Amino acid sequence: MNQQTHYILLALGSNVAAELHIEQAKARLSAVFPQLRFSRSLITPAIGIMSPPFMNCLAEGYCSAPLEEVIVALKDIEAQMGSVPEERKKGIVKIDIDLLQFDETRHKTDDWERNYIQLLLKELGYKQKTNT
């Protein structure tokens, strides 16, 4: 059986017990997507909500799951970690895991312009084109 491999790029964020929640999310993500590698974590101001600062990091790697399964897995991890819409409305974000890219398709296009995402992408060695 020939399974297709897909590139995934994820953004993780938390503003409550952030270090703990980011580490838990990394462990859960690694269990589902073993080929992920993670950037360092950065503390950034909240964007678009009134809340404490966020801890953010990126994850990139490859998986054999199709897009729909990746999205379900990310939402499942958020739910398992107790991230609920009611708390998010109050500015409490235990964990947020966003899919930024699947194969060549970018998602959450506004997020790509954020300074911390650009910085962490650069540190991960993310390139649109390879320069060999």
Q: What is the pLDDT of residues 17-36, one digit of tens each?
A: 999 999 999 999 999 999 99
Band the pLDDT of 50: cuts 50, 70, 90: confident
* H-state helical runs in 33-128: 67-80, 85-89, 115-124
- Per-residue pLDDT tens digits for 93-116: 999 999 999 999 999 999 999 999
According to DSSP, the residues that pair with 6 across neighbouring strands are 63
Task: Please give the model's pTM, rounded to 2 decimal places.
Answer: 0.92
The CA distance from 97 to 115, in Å, is 18
Q: How many CB atoms lie within 10 A of CB 128?
A: 5
Band the pLDDT of 89: cuts 50, 70, 90: confident
The CA distance from 3 to 7, in Å, is 13
